[in-house]
Chain A
Amino acid sequence: MEPVTKATLQVFRKKLSPAKLLLPSSFIDANEKELLEMDFPNSRQEAWKYTRLNRVAKINLESTPSSIIDWSSYLMVKDAYNFVFQNSECIYKSPDLPKGVSIKIGDEIGAMDWLSSINEGHVAKLNVAHAQNGCVINISNGVQLDKPIQLLFISDGPKQPNFWRNQLQHGKGAKADIHVGYFSKDAIDSYSNVHWSVFLKENSHLIMTKIQNDGDANYHFSTENISQLKDSNFTLNTLTLDGSFVRNDVLVKVEGENCETHLNGAYIMKENQHVDNHTTIDHIFPNCNSYELYKGVMDDKSTAVFNGKVFVRPNAQKINAFQSNANVLLSNDAAVNSKPELEIYADDVKCSHGSTTGQLDEEAIFYLRSRGISEAAARQLVVAAFMQDVFLKVASNELKSYIYQQLAVRFNLYLQEKD
């Protein structure tokens, strides 16, 4: 394997347009300086130990004009405030936002709208440098949304680079449900890089569910930086249903007491697909709870990486942090690398993690078969039952049925292929 050198990152960037998004120039300039010193990380760097970027570094990105698409076919739930991005364009904006909610898109965003955010690593820095579009959502204090906000990001065309940057400010006591969907169309060696900065004020309540349904030829990098203030409650569901290469970096900073954090994830991988979930929950204040559940099924030659970190800082007493990762390997060519980590600097805490890797319960399959269910259908049932734990965490029933439907489609296609 040839070593990746500084030049590789610069070559990779050559055809990318600079950020036209509205990040203050001071922001971009400082970032640029650091970026010039950086390179694609190699597998010697701990955070990229199991995810090789050589394939990514080699792609030749080029913006292509986008086609006309029927975005409504991508909708995950019917009744929502919808926003649709196709490459760097916002092609649909919900006209009727409720009082107290503002969503600014592209040029509407002023330099002052951006709050300072953490941008570590090459993925986040590339995003700062090349972000083309995105939204800044402000939900005012005390606003409780009657229906979810639904954001669709569609990557269209071969070799298409997409950098989306979003920010969400969630007011005191506000309550909202946000569905984010990532899709791709006609993708061949496409690249998307999406960044979210989420700020939860005191006593707010937010459920963010992201569906990654990118298909087979897109490299998808997603970063979420979350900051939680006192008494807030945050849930992030990451459901990777399809995607040839997916990397998720989630960082939750719990910056107030009595917070609750839930991170749930599911990944179902086949062929040569690769998924990498990196999560960090940083407990800075006492009296908080966090729960993490990631489950995955890997078939064919697919690989999965899970790296979950829980930090408990000194004096952050009375923390309960639980983390669990379970994997099923369906094929002998699939692989999983799991690395749950605890770093604890306070003593009055209860923290645990568990990680398992195994296969489907043959007895359960035998039971189903003895009742006349075909082998393939039995396997599908058992897989669905295994993943159920995570899907049940999705609060919205409509979204849940969307997920099941997607899975059924995938499995049926898949079962036909196998038969």
Chain B
Amino acid sequence: MSRRRPKPQLLPAALLAAAALYAAFLLRQALLPFLLAFSVAYVVNPVIDAVEARGARRFHVVLGFYLLAAAAAFVLAQYLLPLAAAEASHLRSLTPAYFAKAQQLAADLHVGAARRLARSGLPFEKLSAQALASAAEQLRLLPSYLLGLFPLISLLFLVPFITFFLLLDGRQLVAALIQACPGRFVEAALHLLSEIDAALGNYLRGIVIVALAIAAASYAGLLLLGVNGALAIALLAGASSFVPYLGAIVGALVGGGAAFVQTGHVGAGLQVVALFAGIRLADEALLQPVIARRSVHLHPLVFLLALMAGGEAFGFVGLLFAVPAACVVKSLLKVGWEWYLSEARLGAGPAGRPAAPYT
């Protein structure tokens, strides 16, 4: 078979990708609601599709879903949110006691450590004061960290609005993209879209399942352990788990601290830490194999690098979207490489395998 096509040029594609990445970095604030809406649409879309396949008009299905979601939000606002707020308020009221306990613990440690370090000749008093000052400074800044999340509240209104149109017209957008693609490359474009779709969809739906499972398991576990503010801590752990591994860590720290303050025993805090370690292990053993089976596999080092790079470049939002972005990049590279091989070595075919004459 004769070669009729020029060798594919990778450099322009790489430059284009770099330019797109830089543009995304510059527009990161504006892109945030779209990214969140895109993620929500990915998670919700199978439900909409399932109803639409039964013959309903998509507009009606999406509208019906929004009405149901609004009703669910109303029920949450009426019953669950006041409960969670009361629990959060209770936890806040325990904060001075928490600090007192922490100071007591630090003082106990101080005595023991001072004895040991006095013998070593290190300036223990100075080191201890510096450490405490640094910790106090970080604690003082904690409210400002939390206030920094308040702009996200505006997203509560913007994201559903954008999601509505993505759910309604998302398929038309893809169709327009396919129509704009040169005829010869439609199959390659579909290949790319399909890879990205599978990688992103499975990851995003998987992480929602993980978040719900962590929230439910930690709520049940904290109730069994008799920890006050179980619902608020469970919601916090569930929400934090959208950043990989963070949910169990946040749950263990906040829940363990709350249990320690409540009972005055370190053992109670350690029980909560053990609970979250168990939840994390169960997630790894039971959920991740099912989720990872249908998702793009990332090497742990790539996973870590993606998280660090995402956090460095885009802050908290970068942490949220680092793994999906890495999945997309991996899909792009995979499809690009396959395309390069098929274009560059076309006609060679696998050794010993006959090319059947078909269309």
Is the pairing of A and B real?
no
Q: Which B residues fall within an 8 A CB radius of A?
A: none
Q: Which A residues fall within an 8 A CB radius of B?
A: none
